[in-house]
Structure 1
Amino acid sequence: MTNVTEHPTHLAYLTNRPALPMVAEAAIGFAVLVTKWSVRKRTRRQLSRLDAHQLRDIGLQREDAMREGTLPFWRP
């Protein structure tokens, strides 16, 4: 059985890296947030453009797609 505290080799850097300066951590957090917002905006726009057949394929009704498509990018 693998010890829970062991990490795969490819994750060792992330778990053992020195702490970043507070400004760098804030900049990374901001970049992650802006990226999430961008992805939400793009995927919601694309969702609202799907036709009825495509919506059926993913199990959504037109009303659900339109409601999701009109949400602002900052709302999860």
Structure 2
Amino acid sequence: MSLAKDENVNNSSVLVGMCHEIFVYLSQRHPFPRQVLLSLPCLTPDDLSAYEKALAVTSNPKKTQAAYEKLLVVCYWN
């Protein structure tokens, strides 16, 4: 929701990066971040699986952030 606010337009890439880093850090320690994302009505298990596969194949920060942005687009358009 914060990403959609007009006042955050200049900081959206920072917010996306932070969300991505939080997911990666916490999901390695606990299943809760994955459960939270799957509780969203707009996200399917296949969408989340595709994101996790994209994370597994690269360690490039720009590519992993791009994968997260793609996940957000899926959520937004669904």
TM-score (norm 2): 0.35
TM-score (norm 1): 0.36
Select the structure that is richer in helix: 2
- Please say which structure displays the higher CA radius of gyration: 1
Q: RCO (CA 8 Å, sep 6+): is it higher in 1 or 2? A: 1
